[in-house]
Amino acid sequence: MSHDDPTPRPDKRTLRRDILTARNELTAADVREAAEALAARALAMPEVARAHAVAAYVSVGAEPGTLALLDALRARGVRVLLPVLLPDNDLDWGEYAGESSLTRVRHGGRMELCEPAGERLGPDAVTEADVVLLPGVAVDGRGTRLGRGGGSYDRVLARLERAGARPALLVLLYDAEVVERVPGEPHDLPVDAVVTPSGVRRFR
């Protein structure tokens, strides 16, 4: 094989499918243990420690768990914003007021999401966050994130860019989800850091 003919890299769909399959093999205990480690790692980061407002999300199923982190942030007096999926796949935001403030919502035939039940703050509320936690499936050594495929967070990132907002962009993943290469687009905005149960890796 010549140097001009590199080994084909997995496409986004294949990579996403492989990682989601591996996640589904995790036990509830695996997920819970990882969530506690992720919360401890994230809370120790300087940008999280000094944040007044954090835009996050509620993990579902075997996703790297976020609830322990959300509760710890709230206990520190941090304002936690959670997304509400709109019919056009854009995101509105509401404030997290504890687990009892969440409601389960099924959007069409897609997965059931936990969303804040209270007042809607509008799609631009995310621009007030000091830290934005992005859901992801994988990240590579350049900080390129592979998302869930709905495009909602591409809109969030574009909105932050338009507003001139510069929050720290973090993605929470399992250790095996930091991969050699994520197929990226030229417009992809790299994340600042990935938090895994075993540590934090910064990209820029």
Instruction: Answer yes or no: is pLDDT of 9 > 60.
Output: no
**Nearest Cα to Cα of residue 171 among 149, 144, 151:** 144
Range 12-198 classified under CATH 3.30.360.10: no
Domain boundaries, the chain: 12-198
pTM, to two decimals: 0.89
- Rg of the chain taking only CA atoms, in angstroms: 17
- As a whole number, mean pLDDT of residues 192-200 equals 96
Convert the pLDDT of each residue in 116-174 to its tens digit. 998 999 999 999 999 999 999 999 999 999 988 778 998 999 999 999 999 999 999 99
Those residues whose C-beta lies under 8 Å from the C-beta of residue 64, and which sit 6 or more positions away, are 31, 34, 35, 38, 172, 173, 174
Q: What's the pLDDT tens digit per position in 92-102?
A: 999 999 888 88
The one-character DSSP state at 159 is: H
Judge whether residue 83 has pLDDT over 80: yes
Q: Are residues 130 and 50 in contact, defined by beta-carbon separation less than 8 angstroms?
A: yes
Residue with the two structure tokens 């499918």: 17
Strand 193-196, strand 199-202: pairing: antiparallel
> Looking at per-residue confidence, does 2 or 79 come out higher?
79
Let me know: does 45 contact 195? Beta carbons within 8 Å. Answer: yes
